[in-house]
Structure 1
Amino acid sequence: MTVVAWLVGILFAFAALASVWRIVRGPSILDRMIASDMLLTTLICVLAADMVFGHHTRTLPVIIVLALTAVFGSITVARYVSRQDPS
């Protein structure tokens, strides 16, 4: 089980680093928003994996708040981009 936990941790770390890299290098606001959604999703998955490996549900409210933050952030950026002048 320890090997699986290390493998999952390495994969989550790679996903988080890739999303941070895209946030820094993203040429447009939409690229940065997708990368930040990916980072929040990775964080949610890390917390869920911690719940599975630790046999607890203490972080479930944190997961719900993070998911709501991701949804409202995506909606806000989508509304902002759709209202911009195309020129």
Structure 2
Amino acid sequence: MSVGVLITCGVLLTAAAILAMSRVERGPSMLDRIVAIDVMVAAIIGCLTILSAWSGRVDLVPVLMVLALVGFVGSVTLARFAAAEPEEERHILTPEEIAEADAKVRAELEEES
């Protein structure tokens, strides 16, 4: 790879990382911060990819795969917990509510057969 391409890619990845850090700091919502952290992980993966391509090291490929997997799983997990749930799903069911729901399901099954 030419030095000009490496420098250009490095500058663009650094700019992306700086902009993502400002989004993490400013927010305003938790989902904005989660996306910004995902962009940071992508910038780190990009930097390691450039380093691997420039030096010809293939031993960094497993590290890149692990980083990509951790970034994806982390983003999905955090997004799941940050997402707002409907009001009726926010509480734990009482034993009476569970028994009532079971009775409804059993009644529907008996009607079908």
Give the Å deviation of 1:83. 5.4
Matched with 1:8 is 9
- The code of the aligned residue for 2:76 comes to I
Matched with 1:69 is 70
State the Cα RMSD in Å. 1.6
Percent identity over paired residues: 33
Q: Alignment partner of 1:12: what SS?
A: helix
Gaps of 5+ in 1: none
Gaps of 5+ in 2: 88-113
- The code of the aligned residue for 1:3 comes to G
Matched with 2:47 is 46
**Bigger CA radius of gyration:** 2
Give the Å deviation of 1:75. 1.6
Matched with 2:35 is 34
TM-score when scaled to structure 1? Answer: 0.87
Q: Alignment partner of 2:57: what SS?
A: coil
TM-score when scaled to structure 2? Answer: 0.69
Matched with 1:22 is 23
